[in-house]
Structure 1
């Protein structure tokens, strides 16, 4: 036996010790999952033997795709059962199943439909189907598949759009008594000469889940000085009667049967300031399309408010921007400092802003990095005490704006009962920071307060109504907050909120009761007088209706008189109203509609972006009807 070096002996013992504790031994060994000969069924003495359980399971684990599917090899392996000897009968049965699988008819239409969905969902150009590489790839998957042309994809898209639109139309019709709308803008780039209006509907479905779906997409306005865009609009068949907020929104209301189902409309500033838009409310009121005279109709998009309040105060951003710039320059000079910065940012839970993020968002992120750096490395002399205090104050303000924007404009649409308290956070934060000793900063914060209070003054009614319909808060919460906001004048504002809710509830009582009254009128006996029918029991119907309405009115009284629920952060207000819909049949209908009112018209992707929402570049030159179909389908199937 060869002599073993002392160190080698120690290493061997260490390896043996590790092995005893289950440590892995590294050696070149081919995985059984890829030994296909072992995976194939074997014919032994006239009997088929299947691969062992170990091989099947091991191969299945290795060959599962990240999307949840399996490769062909993985399918073959995982489909094999545990070790089993099969006789002639089983072999015949297996052969028959195999022949059936092979002879199964290929569905060309279904494949084209799935291809169309994939193209739309990922925003690919429709012409991708005509790329030679795409055709070769499809043929390699299935030689029987005939690749569609871009014209075919347009046709499939139109058919799919009409089908999904009909399904959504039916869903809206049976789900809600009333719905809310939101109107935002899309473009095809930062310097786009054409802007598109995107109209979404918000409602609570039959499962008591909040839904947001795009229902209209069209040209909002275009620059007539841009010859190329004028030519494009002609090619896209955009008529004057089919552009602008008035025409687009009213057409959508008619097409979707919402003229008697409209509760509110939330819109961005560019739409609200349009001359056509101001005429729309009067037009809808004349046609009696809006409840309580449209008191909840014209809602200012909260994203607009937050960005205007913080962005207009540019001196505030420049004040801390200069401080932040000095900090970054001082800590980018050495690799050690850079490493420390990266370490701090890695440990932060805050998302890094996108390249096109708004300036205030980028500055807020930088201030958070600075303060986290100060906490992680307290020995570092960063800034003067005065500058640190300024940074902390501005960071608190921007943090409140970021938090509210993240909640109200996020990917998950929140119910309206949370709006009041979220915006109250901004109000109290500005109030606290306005009392700072920093005179220049205090002056800037006071200007922000004035801008925000203007929004609050115009929005407190619609913000209060959903909070009243939260059984954890009700009127007592609104009274408490409005006294803090308006002091001795609070009772006037509380009365306006109370009157608005009661007036709206009365209209709901009438609307819910009317179908019953109409049916009874049809069934009642009548006497023909002068060619007309005079209902001899009409007075009785009115008497019964009045009594029923009086009983229904007690629903709101009873709800308000009941004790408040304990406050829990994970409380599901829609689930509570669903469970109490028998106890409050009319009020629950009103609650589900009010709780669907959106605070923001902006989609989550654009909430903190300078560019806003952008139409896929590949789609911009299509017919406007096709662009609408693609945008809507993408929203409906994602």
Structure 2
């Protein structure tokens, strides 16, 4: 390892990344291994030239990587990165993910469609295989849960117009699909309006209860001292107020959709805070947003969803020595109770230093024991 670090230093590779082994049961660890290996490509080549033992050792397996191998890795990493980033984004549990799934799913769909026409044959073959698997789950518009569209409509940075634009890019006739723009729009808008009406009715029950409560403390309609003219006037005012409330309710969705979009370049945008702030302006839609945006995209962590192995400490466990792994496993109950992710990639240098200190400590202990034995 020290020889490799020397080669990296001589090649002037200024990076905080460290090489790591992959885990056979986790594809994303393979991506991280290949990504870091590309950074140290020149260091590997120098090591092969300066250290004959390195080459001899690898010849026992499949040999050292050649130019063709590096070219294949360079082609593969961009594909894996897309899925790795998507997995990390939608597997979160401490932030809203339901409005991100739409962008992830159809972003991947458009990328794969583009790569199927690539001039690079290996890219084309890989993209076609990936697209076939993608279309198995997302290829038919009718089979997709409509809440996927509603979540992005309730994102004030995109709304209905953006959702329909993306769907047309993927399923539209002009792009090889079978759906027209109008049909796609009516499908999404129909679900949106039906859902809005349902929430309006639920809120109307509450409003009705409030109206009845207010009416109970109002002057009695059968009050004998009240004239006929006053009775009709008051009844008309109540009816007009109820009608105006109904009109406001019906136009709330339209007002939201016609309002200006929020800045999608703002990385600090908090969609929950936005709806909380505008709940007075959009009372019904804010209730919809509260329920829809609370839906988690994934009900399990990415470690469980994309692994064929058992429970592990992290994706870099095979890069650790038995001594460190044993130490970590002894404290597994404490580690698993933590709400913070365990990212060993960033701690490799500290782990190496700790391991070296432990070795030196063990050597010192052995020296002391041998001295005591000699004295006896």
Give the TM-score normalised by structure 1. 0.37
Quote the residue 2:147 is aligned against: 462
Measured against aligned partners, the alpha-carbon deviations of 1:99-143 in whole angstroms (never above 9, x if no partner) come to xxxxxxxxxxxxxxxxxxxxxxxxxxxxxxxxxxxxxxxxxxxxx
Paired with 1:404 and 1:557, the residues of 2 have a C-alpha distance of: 32
Conserved? CA contact 2:97–2:297, under 8 Å? no
Match among 546, 551, 564 for residue 261 of structure 2: 564
Are residues 484 and 375 of structure 1, via their aligned partners in 2, closer, same or farther at CA, if it must alter by over 3 Å? farther
SS in 2 for 1:417: coil
Preserved contact between residue 26 and residue 307 of structure 2 (Cα < 8 Å): no
Which of structures 1 and 2 has the larger relative contact order (alpha carbons within 8 angstroms, sep 6+)? 2
Unaligned runs of 5+ in 1: 1-333, 528-537, 615-633
Structure 2 residue matching 1:570: 3-state secondary structure: coil
Distance 2:110 2:42 in 1: 26
CA distance in 1, matches of 2:167, 2:260: 21
Q: Shift of the alpha carbon at 1:501?
A: 1.1
Q: Provide closer, same or farther for how the CA distance between residues 546 and 446 of structure 1 changes in structure 2, counting only shifts above 3 A.
A: farther
Of 17, 35, 56, 1:348 maps to 17
Q: Is the 8 A contact 1:407 1:414 kept in 2?
A: no
Looking at structure 1, the residues matched to 96 and 13 of structure 2 have their Cα atoms a distance apart, in angstroms, of 31
- Corresponding residue of 2:125: 443
Aligned residues: 275
Cα separation, 2, equivalents of 1:376 and 1:586: 60
Cα RMSD for the two superposed structures: 4.2
1:163-208 Cα deviation digits (max 9, x unpaired): xxxxxxxxxxxxxxxxxxxxxxxxxxxxxxxxxxxxxxxxxxxxxx
Aligned residue among 581, 585, 601 for 2:279: 581
**For residue 513 of structure 1, what is the aligned residue in structure 2?**
204
Change (3 A) 1:380 1:483: farther
Q: What is the Cα deviation at residue 454 of structure 1?
A: 3.4
> Which of the numbers 90, 107, 120 marks the counterpart of 1:408?
90
Residues 455 and 543 (structure 1 numbering): CA distance in 2 closer, same or farther, change over 3 Å? farther
1:470 and 1:573 in contact (8 A); partners too: yes
Instruction: Give 2:189's aligned residue.
Output: 498
Q: Deviations over 1:245-277 (max 9, x none)?
A: xxxxxxxxxxxxxxxxxxxxxxxxxxxxxxxxx
CA change 1:447–1:604 in 2 (3 A) is closer
* Post-superposition offset of 1:566: 2.0
Matched, 1:365 2:62: no
Choose between structure 1 and 2: higher helix proportion: 2
Q: Within the alignment, does 1:601 sit opposite 2:283 as a pair?
A: no
Q: Which has the larger radius of gyration?
A: 1
Q: 1:545 to 1:455 in 2, by over 3 A?
A: farther
Alignment of 1:152-551 (within 5 A): 336-337=3-4, 340=7, 347-348=16-17, 358-374=25-41, 386-437=68-119, 439=121, 442-456=124-138, 457=140, 458-459=143-144, 461-488=146-173, 489-491=179-181, 492-520=183-211, 547-551=244-248
d(CA) in 1 for partners of 2:13, 2:36: 7
Q: Shift of the alpha carbon at 1:552?
A: 0.9
Q: Name the SS for the 2:300 alignment partner.
A: coil
